[in-house]
Copies of this chain bind each other. A is one copy, B any other.
Amino acid sequence: MLKYKYTCCVYNHLLTSAMTNQFKETTVEEINQVMQRSHTAFEAFQKKNIEEKSVFLDTIANEIEALGDPLLQKASEETNLPIARLTGERGRTTAQLRMFATMLREGSWVEAIIDTAQPDRTPLPKPDVRKILIPLGPVVVFGASNFPFAYSTAGGDTASALAAGCSVVVKAHPAHAQTSEMVYQAIKKAITSCNMPDDVFQHVHGTSFESGKALVQAEHTAAVGFTGSTAGGKALFDYSAQRKNPIPVFSEMGSINPVIFLPQTLQNNAADLATQYANSITLGMGQFCTNPGLMLAVESSDLQAFLNHLGNRIKEVQPAKMLHTGIHTAYEKKSHAALEQEGVAIVEQATTEAKDIEARPVIAQVSGQTFLANPLLHEEVFGPYSLMVSCKDKQELITVLKSVSGQLTATVMGTVQDLENHSSLIDLLPSIAGRILFNGAPTGVEVCAAMVHGGPYPATTDSRFTAVGINAVKRWVRPVCYQNWPDNLLPLALQNSNPLQIWRLVDNEWKK
């Protein structure tokens, strides 16, 4: 294990020197060694069988649980997140690890396809061709500040990459580096007890541009996962493009998650909607990439009634500490900048003033025309902030929706009649976001097979993948096919007898 010390902050350039940690910043040379070792471990890891890999993932989950309350306390101390929330997030993290273990044991995720030979075909015989997914190689993971467990050290990127058969190097998030160290120790225990290659998982600390760049550009790095800011995610993407051999970089870079409130539902349910959305906007002090930062509706007295209700709910919310000083400073700066724009009116803010690094929730309002003319209002304000765009009519609502960039989510609040009355608008939604919701709040991402946590740029750097759910594994694998290969030397998943009993497409028919 390498020990580093912070010097300055980068990927989360919001961090300040107020954070004191004891970990030494890595050097570029050390990072290259780490990646070389990761490559060696990757080769050894590939030889482990499915059950060994599954037990390894399960054991990591067990070891994280075995850390008990001290892990939650340390995380709470570092992130200001309450114990209850962290308890839930730990449960999600271990559930993700076990979900991937289950996926491995079931086995069909490798997408085995078999086209058998037709030696007598004319004019040319048809060869036997068999396809399977294989791991890319060492994956570098840059975890998120807002999910110290579920999107960090042993989070979704790590779990899916290990499940794919990749080795993993995590750069600890500086904002919860000690929590990350504790989780790393749990993984190390699992490595030892499961007899895995020592370096199948490595943990480095670093806050400089150089360390991030070196991790992406190291010869042996095969892919990168990132969750964080647009600037950070795009920088890593660009570092990869500069490589001699560019590699996949999946950056999840946040979103303003538009929510459209349609007329009938505003008329029928203004008070309930307001309660639901006040909760969603201020959940975790708004520190979710699925936070509803943008609301859209057509002007009406019902809309004003909804905003009154929403304002009343927001007033009651108690400010709470944000994740760290940097994020708080950014929230202050970005929310103030937005609120100072011409034509932007504060609807309401929390009555209690914020102190220290607390965030004060706030709701603002702007006309469609003003929103369309001002790109600053399209930017994410990470925190308990949401902007209602009041459009003059249905057409302007469509124009506004078309003007927003790629999103993780887009939500419609409406009656079934509302949906039917706004079919052009509804038809637009899949083009904007990876997940579209009806009568719900975008905060809260269910970990399930059908989940898409992704979306068009700048929500992510590649909309063809998801960061949540079993398909997250697809980011770290590539297909390879075997032509006329001897049956006994094929991977088990491709052998004639189907020894793994998995679903396979055999001569264009799905069989098990």
| Chain A positions near chain B (C-beta within 8 angstroms) | 88, 108, 113-115, 123-124, 126-127, 129-131, 134, 136-137, 237-238, 241, 245-248, 405-406, 416, 419, 426, 430-431, 433-440, 444, 446, 448-452, 454, 456-458, 461-466, 471, 474-475, 477-486, 489, 503, 505, 508, 510
Contact = CB atoms under 8 A, between A and B. Distances in A.
A471 to B, nearest CB: 7
Contacts of A248: 462, 464
A489 B419 contact: yes
A426 B491 CA distance: 12
B430 A452 contact: no
Return the 10 tightest CB-CB contacts between A and B, nearest first: A245-B457, A131-B450, A113-B450, A452-B481, A115-B448, A241-B241, A437-B483, A129-B450, A463-B478, A115-B450
Contacts of A465: 479
* Copies per assembly: 2
A433 B477 CA distance: 13
Nearest to A412: B485
Contacts of A124: 444
Given A238-B241, A457-B246, A481 B434 contact: yes
A510 to B, nearest CB: 6
Contacts of A482: 435-438
A267 to B, nearest CB: 19
Nearest to A430: B480
Contact of A486 (B130, B438, B478, B484): B438
Contacts of A489: 419, 426
Nearest to A436: B482
B481 A436 contact: yes
A237 to B, nearest CB: 7
Given A438-B482, A454-B479, 17 more contacts: A115-B450, A129-B446, A129-B451, A131-B449, A137-B431, A245-B456, A246-B457, A248-B462, A248-B464, A435-B481, A435-B482, A437-B484, A450-B481, A452-B481, A464-B475, A464-B477, A466-B479
B483 A448 contact: no
A197 to B, nearest CB: 15
A241 B462 CA distance: 12
12 contacts: A127-B446, A131-B449, A416-B486, A446-B483, A449-B508, A450-B481, A450-B505, A452-B481, A464-B474, A464-B475, A464-B479, A471-B479
Given A136-B463, A438-B486, A451 B245 contact: no
Contacts of A437: 482-485
